[in-house]
């Protein structure tokens, strides 16, 4: 029986190989492709490029937020200078300058000494055409004044409570007696 299986397997393999070999001789891929004659290429005459109309560069803008690092809150009413233009931050600490031509700008925080000290110096920004550059600024404000303590000293009570006397004493005595009697009764029945 093993001989039959072995013989059948060998015949199947040989048949498959012959089938593939015959297909390969029919489609010989090693033959070179026949050269095909192509029509001549048309000749192109050079044309001078038309001049494009000169266009204005698209304006950009510089925006940012000023933060007081002492409190972590946005700072309103702070002066920010972009080159020679002075801006004031809004109620949310935001500033911005629109319609700026592409180029290099210097952004600086102008803060009076009583309001704090800048966390960084002047920053140079390169503004690409039509883009928005964001530059957040920060300063260290003066430390907040200490808040008066909301806690007050505890007030002594107007009258001291009476200790040792309780209306619950009678109930506790009755309950204790009942528990002792019940325990004694159970003990006698068990013996």
Domain interval for residue 89: 60-140
Q: How many domains does the chain have?
A: 1
Taking only the tens place, the pLDDT of each residue in 41-93 is 777 777 777 777 778 889 999 999 999 999 999 999 999 999 999 999 999 99
User: Collapsing DSSP states into helix, strand and coil, what is residue 3?
Assistant: helix
In a domain, 35, yes or no: no
Residue 3 falls inside a structural domain? no
Is 162 part of a structural domain of the chain?
no
130 domain-assigned: yes
Q: What's the CA angle centered on 92, arms 109 and 117, to 5 degrees?
A: 30
Rounded-to-integer distance, Cα 13 and Cα 20, Å: 11
Q: pTM of the prediction?
A: 0.49
pLDDT value of position 147: 72
Give the pLDDT score at 67. Answer: 95
What's the confidence (pLDDT) of residue 131?
94
Q: What is the pLDDT of residue 25?
A: 54
Q: What's the pLDDT at 145?
A: 72
In a domain, residue 102? The reply is: yes
Taking the CA atoms of 25, 27, 33 and 38 in sequence, report the sign of the dihedral they define: positive
Residue 177 has a pLDDT of 62
Long-range contacts for 128-134 (Cβ within 8 Å, ≥24 apart)?
A: 128/60, 128/102, 129/57, 129/58, 129/60, 129/102, 130/57, 130/58, 130/59, 130/60, 130/102, 131/60, 132/60, 132/61, 132/62, 132/63, 133/60, 133/61, 133/62, 133/63, 133/105, 134/62, 134/63, 134/64
Residue at 65 is within a domain: yes
The predicted pLDDT at position 143 comes to: 80
Residue 119 is predicted with a pLDDT of 94
Let me know if residue 104 belongs to a domain.
yes
* Within a domain: 115: yes
Query: What is residue 116's three-state secondary structure?
Result: coil
Question: Which residues, given as ranges, of the chain have pLDDT below 50?
Answer: none
pLDDT in the model for residue 39: 77
CATH of the domain at 108: 2.60.40.1120
């Amino acid at each position: 029986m093993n001989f039959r299986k072995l013989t059948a397997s060998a015949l199947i393999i040989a048949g498959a190989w012959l089938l593939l070999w015959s297909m390969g001789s029919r489609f010989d891929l090693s033959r070179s492709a026949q050269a095909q004659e192509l029509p001549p290429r048309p000749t192109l005459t050079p044309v001078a490029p038309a001049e494009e109309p000169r266009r204005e560069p698209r304006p950009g803008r510089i925006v940012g937020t000023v933060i007081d690092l002492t409190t972590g809150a946005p700072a309103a009413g702070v002066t920010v200078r972009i080159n020679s233009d002075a801006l004031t931050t809004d109620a949310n600490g935001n500033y911005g300058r629109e319609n700026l031509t592409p180029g290099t700008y210097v952004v600086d925080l102008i803060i009076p000494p009583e309001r704090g000290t800048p966390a960084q110096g002047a920053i140079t920004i390169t503004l690409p055409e039509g883009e928005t550059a964001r530059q957040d600024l920060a300063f260290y404000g003066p430390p907040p004044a200490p808040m008066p303590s909301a806690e007050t000293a505890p007030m002594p009570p107007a009258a001291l409570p009476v200790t040792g006397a309780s209306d619950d004493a009678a109930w506790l005595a009755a309950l204790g007696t009942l528990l002792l009697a019940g325990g004694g009764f159970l003990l006698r029945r068990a013996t």
